[in-house]
Amino acid sequence: MCLAIPGKVIEIVDAGRQIVKAEVSGVRRNVSAELLGEAGQADCVRVGDWILIHAGFALARINEEEAAATTRLFQAMADAYADELMALRRSEIE
């Protein structure tokens, strides 16, 4: 199983190599868009597109609603994990 995170394309860094800069929860990172189509083609990624990112590669384009829903889900998972860690810290070993 792989976990892909949504990011918004904010810049085309190198069109020939299909490297874009995507923003993920305020963090900007370079991502390869090679898996999304050939450079210069209509299906190639554009600034403003939402993409799913795994291990530095854009795996798919998604719409803004899907990106928001996925981000909410990840936040809920993070909150639940934080609650579990807090409960573990409060517990005592007998």
Q: Name the architecture of domain 5-90.
A: Roll (2.30)
Query: Regarding predicted confidence, which is higher, 20 or 37?
Result: 20
Query: Regarding predicted confidence, which is higher, 71 or 83?
Result: 71
Q: Which residues pair with 11 in a beta bridge?
A: 21
Query: Regarding predicted confidence, which is higher, 75 or 11?
Result: 11
pTM: 0.77
Instruction: Supply the mean pLDDT for the chain.
Output: 88
Tokens representing 73 are 């889900």
At residue 64 the predicted structure's pLDDT band, cuts being 50, 70 and 90, is very high
Tell me, letter by letter, the H, E, C secondary structure of the chain.
CCCCEEEEEEEEEECCCCEEEEEECCEEEEEECHHHCCCCCCCCCCCCCEEEEECCEEEEEECHHHHHHHHHHHHHHHHHHHHHHHHHHHCCCC
